Amino acid sequence: MSATMSGKQNMKFLYAGIAIALMISVLAPFLASSDPDGLESAAFGVIDEAKMAAMEELAPVFESPMPDYAIEGMGKTGEVMAIVIGTLIVLAIGFGLGKVMKK
Amino acid sequence: MHIPDSFMPLTQALVYWVIALPFIFLSVRWARKELDDTKVPILAALAAGIFAIQALNIPIGMGTSGHMVGAALVAIIFGSPMAGVLVLTLVLLVQGFVFADGGITVMGANILNMGVISGFVGYYAFVALRKNKLSISVSSFIGAWLGLFVSALATAVEMYIAGTFPLVAGLTMMGLYHLIIGFVGEGLITAIVITAIGKSRPDLLENSFLNPDQMGVIA
């Protein structure tokens, strides 16, 4: 496959990737399980409640603008927006950084 | 498997940064050597897709859920675990700073576990299985699954050293949950994506295993 040919094909891959990523971003707040993940679940199983509560009380090192993939007071719409924004940020940085770093 | 800051003392968190940084450096060097204009869109698409799918927690029973990590997938597509380190570092940076998913001081540990360990184990298990003539889909399934499982065990050991988890109970629970998460969230999705790419864009996978000279070589 020639370079220009695979270049065009790769742009198609990018568009398909963006479409799939955005589709997942929009659906995730509705489909994702709210159960704790493996690490949290293990923590609840092995750490006693008092210690766990004390750990959760600790102030975060950094104030994130959209903690837990949500925008305060915006419910599911906010969650969709948060994940879509995150996907676009990663996409932009991935593309930009890739362009800067490439040979 | 994103460790929050409260789960690890600062001094230990810094040690994992020291271990993770050389890999991050090597991943940037990989990009300088291997990335060209035609490959950047693939990298960007994978990074965006992995960020999105990490927001999709799959229920695994026992009141627990889990999501894909994706380092093995990226490593297999680019034919180097360094690509997985690069993409996961980017994803973890955005998750930590913008969404408070995974800590800031412990980000080095999270990069080590999800970017380095799951990617390296996943990729080299995949390569070993391919060399033993297993199919692409089976090799990517087992590789990705194993990568996630081993990185969960590593996380459990780090949690033990941090004084947060007891050793045996921590290993047992982390192992059990991620055995299942790895099966569905990591193995299955990786195998489906790799198989789909193998059918639609076999040229993209050339570095990984179609070219025997480059098999298992860190580019």
Return the domain boundaries, chain B: 5-205
Lowest mean pLDDT, pick from B80-84, B144-148, B204-208:
B204-208
- Point out which residues pair with B64 in neighbouring strands: B61
Closest Cα of chain B to A12: distance in Å? 9
User: Residues B33-75: pLDDT tens digits?
Assistant: 999 998 999 999 999 999 999 999 999 999 999 999 999 999 9
Q: How confident is the model at residue B216 (pLDDT cuts 50, 70, 90)?
A: very low
pLDDT digits (tens, 9 = 90+) for A34-92: 999 999 999 999 998 888 888 888 877 888 999 999 999 999 999 999 999 999 999 99
For A96, A103, B139, the CA distances from B181, given in Å and listed in that order, are 32, 37, 17
Closest approach of B118 to chain A, Cα-based (Å): 15
CA distance B49 to chain A (A): 4
Confidence of residue B209 (pLDDT cuts 50, 70, 90): low
B64 interaction partners in chain A (CB closer than 8 Å)? 35-38, 41
Q: Which of A90, A93, A99 to mutate against chain B (most B CBs within 10 Å)?
A: A90
Check: CB of residue B97 under 8 Å from CB of residue B53. Answer: no
- Whether residue B55 and residue A25 make contact (CB cut-off 8 A), yes or no, is yes
Q: How far apart are the first and last CA of chain A?
A: 20
Kindly list the residues from chain A whose CB atom is less than 8 angstroms away from the CB atom of residue B185: none
Judged against a pLDDT cut of 60, whether residue A100 lies above it is answered with: yes
Whether residue B179 has pLDDT greater than 90: yes
Q: How many CB atoms are closer than 10 A to CB A3?
A: 10
What pLDDT, on the 0 to 100 scale, is given for residue B217? 45
Level-2 CATH architecture, domain B5-205 = Orthogonal Bundle (1.10)
Contacts of B104 in chain A (CB under 8 A): 60-62
For testing contact with chain B, the best of A12, A61, A89 (most B CBs within 10 A) = A61
Q: Among partner residues A18, A56, A69, which is closest to B45 by beta-carbon distance? A: A18
Q: What is the predicted ipTM? A: 0.94
Residues of A in contact with B59 (CB under 8 A): 33, 35
pLDDT, tens digit (0-9, with 9 covering 90-100), for B70-114: 999 999 999 999 999 999 999 999 999 999 999 999 999 999 999
Closest CA to B23 of B112, B106, B95, B110: B112
* CB contact (8 A) between residue B43 and residue A36: no
